[in-house]
Amino acid sequence: MQLYTRTGDKGQTSLIGGRVDKDDIRVEAYGTLDEVNCFVGQAICELNHERFDDIVKDLATIQHELFDCGGDLSNVSNKRRSKLQLDSVHALEDKIDGFVREAPPLEKFILPGGAKASASIHIARTVARRAERCMVSLSKTDEDFPVVTLQYINRLSDYFFALARVINHRSNVKDVEYLRSANVFSTRRIQKNDK
């Protein structure tokens, strides 16, 4: 297999059903999802696979779902159908609820850090937010935009936040609290929203 094709030497790339400039917002969106996927892969490598077996399996699933999202965004053909389905969004919501119950109550803003894998997941979270911003821009120009991908990435960044806290908790590493933070999260509010 030859890795280079020379077809992109003039600043264009192929999509499913067309070609665009490499700085097109669509390319920026699915390229940013690729960045998220890389940080997820890094976190998998940093986790103890015995202690975090459930999380490693979840992250492997998420890597495939991120590829699905990228495929959905790169498809501009007349026969567009989302690979990603709404049940993936619901699965993330279930995981988030479980992680919120598992981690210690959150009262203050926290800084990215703690265990290595937690820090990598925080990076994935912020890159997912950037991907989401790109996708919002793309959705304004694409009337057939696959909305489920935007829902998924929105939920995924929340999942990453909750997961980073659980990784620290299971590693017996405290979250790094923002020193000048007031108590902004009430335990009562978090429990109420979980119902």
pLDDT, one tens digit per residue, over 105-150 is 999 999 999 999 999 999 999 999 999 999 999 999 998 899 999 9
pLDDT, one tens digit per residue, over 26-45 is 999 999 999 999 999 999 99
12 pairs with which residues across the strands? Answer: 21
The structure's pTM equals: 0.89
pLDDT for 186 equals: 65
Backbone angles phi, psi at 80, to 5 degrees: -95, 125
pLDDT for 194 equals: 44
Q: What b-and-e string marks burial along 91-117, b requiring 16 or more CB atoms within 10 Å of the CB?
A: bbeebbeebbeebeebeebbebebbbb
pLDDT for 191 equals: 45
Domains in the chain, start-ordered, CATH in brackets?
12-194 (1.20.1200.10)
* pLDDT band per the 50, 70, 90 thresholds, residue 195: very low
Higher pLDDT, 189 or 24: 24
